[in-house]
Amino acid sequence: MLKISVESVEPGAVLAKPIVSDTGITLIAEGVEVSGPIKKRLASMGITEVFVTGKRVPGIPKEEFVANVNASFIKTEGDPRMDAMKRALLAHIEELY
Amino acid sequence: MLDIERVRGKVERTNAIPTIPLVIRKIVKAVENPATSPAAVSRLVSSDPALTAKILKVINAAMYGFVARISSVNQAVVLLGMNVVRALLLGISMFEMMEQTTVGLWKHSLGCAIVARLLAQKKGIFDPEEASVAGLLHDIGKVVLSVQFPKEYQMAVTTARDRSMLLPDAETEIFSMTHAAAGAYFANTWRLPEFVVESIRHHHQPSATKAAPLHTATVHMADTLVKAYNVGFSGDTFVSAVHGYAWEVFDFSEAQMKEIFAEIGDTTAQVDDFFKNPKK
Ligand SMILES: [Fe+2]
Ligand SMILES: [Fe+2]
């Protein structure tokens, strides 16, 4: 599931969470394809971002991402909490691809 | 090395920069005066529709996680208060001025604003909107220094990279001060709210402030997380260790940090999107 702006929803993407009004009424159900007309409807409701199913494809290859992280953390090696932060980030990257 | 008083003087006289558009000067001048009414500010801003669109876009992105909540300058003033809006106006116009050369820094700052808000919300410690503003402006000193000393600032960035130094150390060698100090002089000259000035001045050393420790710790932690994730480019190649005081405030476990990085991941995509569609 990913949260993106309505404008950048790709054709074929479906809602991973329903659109619910302030009073709790479901306006557009989960699983509905975010087609052109649906986008217009969302715009008329003032909704600019939605949850859709699928995984985000990061803009850079995994190896590059990992290499960047390793390079960034060079100065804090051996600091236990910074090492934990780095491990947390690498674990997150592992799940992205 | 440049003389500290000379640097300070130029940082504090940023209103003399010829490239600042007239409308921005008028606005900044007007908002500087505490007697100016919110309506007068929104009238001035609204006289430039392109500027209005830009400002609302940044406010919605930074303060409300891209959910368009604010649709007029007037509403922004009502919801956020004059002080916050004038800080935003000044910050946005400074970034806009150098749009081309500092997209990386703009992204870093916007990312930091969004993450600072997220952290403030998670801890429930203070107004998330204040966290966003402080996050958005924390590196304004880099903008000011590179507007006033373009060659020297570029040199600081390349020196830090080539000699594998932390950026503030390279800045100190050249300017006799860091971007944190420069930003604080600037913010103080424009009489931005105290929590903004303090979190700019001490965002590398959050324990050094008595006036706004939580804001500063939040910006410090957000800055580190965003740098670690490589959202945009702050000019600094290396992450520095989070300060002990900030760890006390945000005693995240490794699992919690992983969750936060996942949220930052969503944010990065939105930030990229924001810069890809400038007309939106
Ligand atoms: Fe900084
Ligand atoms: Fe920063």
**In whole angstroms, what is the distance from residue B21 CA to residue B184 CA?**
23
Asked if residue B182 lies in contact with residue B2, where contact means CB atoms within 8 angstroms, the answer is no
Q: Does A69 sit within 8 Å of B228, measured CB to CB?
A: yes
Residue A67 lies in a domain: yes
The model carries a pTM of 0.82
Q: Give the mutation candidate from B260, B261, B264, B273 for the A interface (greatest A CB count, under 10 A).
A: B261
Q: Which two tokens stand for residue B270?
A: 């939105």
Residues of the domain holding A70: 62-96
Residue-averaged pLDDT of chain A: 88
Residue A76, min C-alpha distance to chain B (Å):
6
Q: Are residues A35 and A68 in the same domain?
A: no
CATH number of residue A32's parent domain:
3.90.105.10
- B64 touching chain A per CB within 8 A: no
Asked if residue B111 lies in contact with residue B132, where contact means CB atoms within 8 angstroms, the answer is no
Give the pLDDT confidence of A47-85 residue by residue, as tens digits. 888 888 776 667 789 999 999 999 999 999 999 999 999
Give the pLDDT confidence of B166-219 residue by residue, as tens digits. 999 999 999 999 999 999 998 888 778 899 999 999 999 988 888 899 999 999
- Looking at the CA of B171, which ligand is closest? 1
CATH 1.10.287.1770 assigned to domain B4-17+101-276? The reply is no
Residue A83 lies in a domain: yes
Q: Which two tokens stand for residue A25?
A: 């009424």
Quote the ipTM score. Answer: 0.85
C-alpha dihedral sign at B67, B69, B72, B77: negative
Residue A45 lies in a domain: yes
Backbone φ and ψ of A72, nearest 5°: -65, -35
Give the pLDDT confidence of B57-99 residue by residue, as tens digits. 888 777 776 666 777 878 887 788 777 777 887 787 777 766 5
Judging contacts by C-beta atoms under 8 Å, the chain B residues touching residue A76 are 239-241
- A17 touching chain B per CB within 8 A: no
Q: Bigger pLDDT: B212 or B44?
A: B212
Q: How many domains does chain A have?
A: 2
Q: Does A48 sit within 8 Å of B68, measured CB to CB?
A: yes
Q: Which two tokens stand for residue B186?
A: 């600037």
Q: Bigger pLDDT: B243 or B102?
A: B243
Mean pLDDT confidence for B1-29: 76
- A57 touching chain B per CB within 8 A: no
Q: Which two tokens stand for residue A29?
A: 């159900």
Q: What one-character-per-residue DSSP string does B152-215 give?
A: HHHHHHHHHHHTT--HHHHHHHHHSS-HHHHHHHHHHHTT--HHHHHHHHTTT-GGG-SS-HHH
